[in-house]
A = this chain, B = another copy of it.
Amino acid sequence: MPKQTFHNLPKDKREKIVNAAIDEFAEYGLENASTNRIVANSGIAKGSFYQYFKDKTDVFDYLMEVVAQEKTDFFKGKHPPQKNMDTFEYFRWMVKAGMEFNSAYPRMAQAASRVLFVEGLYYGKNFAEYHQKTQEALTAMIKQAMKNGEVDPSVDVELAVMIMETWSNAITTYIITEGMKQKDIMKWVRSAKTQEKIDKMLYVMEYGLRKTESKFEKSIGST
């Protein structure tokens, strides 16, 4: 975590450093991020950087805290739309709120997803933590769905969680990589076409999850 000297800094200077770091991680990931570039882009001296942070992973850890905080605030701002949502509706809402967040803070999202999903898969550590939290949340969710009778109790919980996580991650990656190609990400994310695509994907998932275990009979076809 950053040293006290960093927290003592005036707000605008802190923000300049944070923004430079976000851009750096978004562009190069954690492994290939250059502290030299970060200091150059934030207009501070090399020595100062090491007076604020232990090293670049220290900056990154701090960034992840900032992202978590921003995300929490963002989600709180989005009033949970209805009272009586079933679990899948709630999941769909969550995924979409996540999409909104990612398009509202694209660089931040890109930096986080890049390091966590992409490098994290191989270097562990940060990813493992994130992964565990997600799994716990989704496990609680799917168990609730079973109690509510929305999911067949014979469905493998671990499996359902894996499926939901895979989709959630796939969508995040999709939004971030595709979204980068758009000139107005927010507009693109909110477009009917994008929303419909996401909806459909989640419906396929939902339809598959609701009841699956029983191998299901052949010849269900559309006829």
Contact = CB atoms under 8 A, between A and B. Distances in A.
Interface string A119-162: 10110000000000000000000000000011111101001001
A206 interface: yes
A206 B208 CA distance: 7
Contacts of A173: 121
Interface residues of A, number: 45
Interface in A161-205: 162-163, 166-167, 170, 173, 177, 197, 200-201, 203-205
Contacts of A211: 207, 220, 222
B31 A156 contact: no
A194 B98 CA distance: 31
Give this chain's copy count.
2
A32 interface: yes
A223 interface: yes
Interface of A: 29, 31-32, 86, 114, 118-119, 121-122, 149-154, 156, 159, 162-163, 166-167, 170, 173, 177, 197, 200-201, 203-213, 215-216, 218, 220-223
17 contacts: A118-B118, A118-B122, A121-B173, A149-B223, A151-B222, A154-B222, A159-B200, A159-B204, A166-B170, A170-B170, A200-B213, A203-B212, A203-B215, A207-B211, A207-B216, A208-B208, A210-B220
